[in-house]
Amino acid sequence: MSGLIVTEWIERSGGAERVLDSMGEIFPDSEIYCLWNDAPERFPNGRVAESWLSRTPFRKHKAASLPLLDAVWRRAPVRDDHEWVLASSYVFAHHVKVPDPSVPKFVYAHTPARYLWDPESDDRGRSALVRAAAPTFRCIDRRRAQEATRIAANSRFVRDRIARAWQRDATVIHPPVAVEAIGEKSDWRAHVLDPDERRILDGLPETFVMGASRFTPYKALDLVIAAADRVGLPVVIAGRGPDERRLRARAAEAGVPVSFVIAPSDALMYALMQLSAVFVFPPIEDFGIVPVEAQATGTPVVTGPIGGQVETIVPGVSGVIAASTDPADLATGIEAALRLARFDSRILSERFGPERFARELQRFVQV
C-alpha cells in the first residue's frame, strides 16, 4: 500500500529522527514529506519532499516559523493515490490535511507541542508573545487533533498529556531503541577506533557517575554534577550544546573531578555508559531514549519521579527513581543504584526493541 509519512523537520540526530528512520524501513514504499530536511543523506534521493519553507530563512529559525506551520500543513501534497497518511508529530505535523475523508490519518505523537501545552518545560513558551497567542493556537491544535483516525503516544506520560490537551485517547507505542545491538557487545571500548577518543577512555577515573544529553538548561546536567559531588564521585558529562560554558563553570566549583566529552561517537558514548557506575538523568522527558541506551549497556539509571523516562526503568533492578531531582535526592538515588546487583539488559528487548516497534506500528496503521 502506498502511503505518505509526514514529519516536522529532519535533523542529523535526535529521537524523532530515529523513529522516522524506523517508519521508513517498516513502510519502504511510502513517501516522506517534511518542512525541511537537514539530513539529506538519511534517505535515497527523491524519497523526501520539502515544503516551501525549506527555501526560506525560516529553516534556520524554527521559532519564527511556528505561526506559519498550520497553513503549511493544510497545503501539504497529499495525493489521491495515497492510501494512508502517518504523521510523526511533536509540533504541528498532525495538522496535515487529508482531502479525501476515506483516507485514514494516523498520528504518532512524540508530544503535543510543549510550548503551547506545557510552557514551563519549553523556553519558547515563556515569551510574552507566545503566551498571548497560545490560547488561539491551542484551540486550533485541539481541533486538528480531532481529524486523526487514531493516535499513538510514545509513552503513558505523553498519552496523559494528549488526553488533557487534545481530549483524545491514544495507544502507547514506545519508540524503537537498538537495545539488542547495544547490549550484545560486552566491551564497547574495542569498537572505539579514533585515537583521540581512545585517549579519553584511557584517562577515565576507575569509578564515575555519568550524564549525557544536549547541553541545554532543560536537560539539567548541572544536577548530575551536584548530585555526584554530594556522594564524592567523579563525573563524566557527554554531549554538546549552548549550555557548555555554564556547565563548565559549575564543574569548576565542584569538589570532585568533572570531565567533559564533547560530541562523542556512538561507540564512545556506549563505552562511557558501559564503564560508568551510574547514569543520572534529571530532565522530565516525553520518553527518553538515552536512559534506555544506558540500561542496555548494563548500567543502572537514576532519574526523578516525573516523565516518560520513568516508564523505562525497572525500579530496584535496572535503576532507581529518586524522590525528586533535588541534588540530595539524586545523590540518595546514586547511592542506592551503586548497591544494585548486575542485571541482564535483555529485559529491555521486548519492551523497546525495533522489532517490537515494527509489530506495534504495523498493527496501529493496519497495513
Contacts of 303 (CB under 8 A, 6+ apart): 280, 281, 282, 288, 291, 309, 310, 313, 319, 321, 322, 333
Predicted confidence band of residue 134 (pLDDT cuts 50, 70, 90): confident
Give percent of the chain with pLDDT exceeding 70.
97
Predicted confidence band of residue 108 (pLDDT cuts 50, 70, 90): very high
255-269 residue pLDDT tens: 999 999 999 999 999
- 366 in any annotated domain: no
Average pLDDT over residues 158-170: 97
Q: Which of 115, 143, 173 is a domain's end point?
A: 173
Q: What are phi and psi of 214, to 5 degrees?
A: -65, 140
Q: What is the pLDDT of residue 14?
A: 82
Contact between residue 28 and residue 2 where contact means Cβ atoms under 8 Å apart: no
Rounded distance between C-alpha atoms, residue 13 and residue 241, angstroms:
13
- Looking at the fold, whether 169 and 183 belong to one and the same domain comes out as no
Average pLDDT over residues 168-176: 97
Contact between residue 255 and residue 226 where contact means Cβ atoms under 8 Å apart: no
C-alpha cell at 256: 570532585
DSSP state of 92: S
First CA to last CA distance, the chain:
7
DSSP state of 133: H
- 306 in any annotated domain: yes
Task: Answer whether residue 191 shows pLDDT above 70.
Answer: yes
Contacts of 304 (CB under 8 A, 6+ apart): 282, 284, 310, 321, 322, 324, 325, 329, 330
Q: Which of these ranges, 1-5, 144-148, 169-173, 333-337, has the smallest mean pLDDT? A: 1-5
- Looking at the fold, whether 58 and 166 belong to one and the same domain comes out as yes
| Cα→Cα distances 170→7, 185, 270, Å | 18, 35, 33
Predicted confidence band of residue 367 (pLDDT cuts 50, 70, 90): low
User: What range does the domain containing 187 cover?
Assistant: 179-351
- 367 in any annotated domain: no
Task: Answer whether residue 127 shows pLDDT above 80.
Answer: no
- Domain with residue 318: its CATH number is 3.40.50.2000
Q: What is the pLDDT of residue 316?
A: 96
Burial (CB count <10 Å: 0-12, 13-18, 19+), residue 101: exposed
Rounded to two decimals, what is the model's pTM?
0.91
- Looking at the fold, whether 132 and 269 belong to one and the same domain comes out as no
- Measured at the CA of 297, the angle between CA 278 and CA 234, to 5 degrees, comes to 30
- Looking at the fold, whether 40 and 141 belong to one and the same domain comes out as yes
- Looking at the fold, whether 188 and 320 belong to one and the same domain comes out as yes
Residue type, 330: L
Closest C-alpha to 73, from 57, 82, 85, 83: 85
- Looking at the fold, whether 85 and 194 belong to one and the same domain comes out as no
Contact between residue 20 and residue 46 where contact means Cβ atoms under 8 Å apart: no
Contact between residue 204 and residue 261 where contact means Cβ atoms under 8 Å apart: no
DSSP state of 341: P
Task: Answer whether residue 125 shows pLDDT above 80.
Answer: no
Task: Answer whether residue 346 shows pLDDT above 90.
Answer: no
Closest C-alpha to 308, from 321, 323, 299, 318: 321
Residue 184: count of CB within 10 angstroms of its CB:
11
Pairing of strands 301-303, 278-281: parallel
- Looking at the fold, whether 127 and 165 belong to one and the same domain comes out as yes
Indicate the helix (H) or strand (E) that contains 212.
strand 209-212
Indicate the helix (H) or strand (E) that contains 138.
helix 128-145
Kindly calculate the radius of gyration of the chain based on its CA atoms and give it in whole angstroms: 21
- 49 in any annotated domain: yes
- 357 in any annotated domain: no
Indicate the helix (H) or strand (E) that contains 199.
helix 195-202
216-256 residue pLDDT tens: 998 999 999 999 999 999 999 999 999 999 999 999 999 99
Q: Between 120 and 299, where is the model more confident?
A: 299
In total, how many domains does the chain have? Answer: 2
Predicted confidence band of residue 118 (pLDDT cuts 50, 70, 90): confident
Length of the chain: 367
- Looking at the fold, whether 78 and 34 belong to one and the same domain comes out as yes
Rounded distance between C-alpha atoms, residue 233 and residue 283, angstroms:
21
Q: Which of 113, 139, 173 is a domain's end point?
A: 173
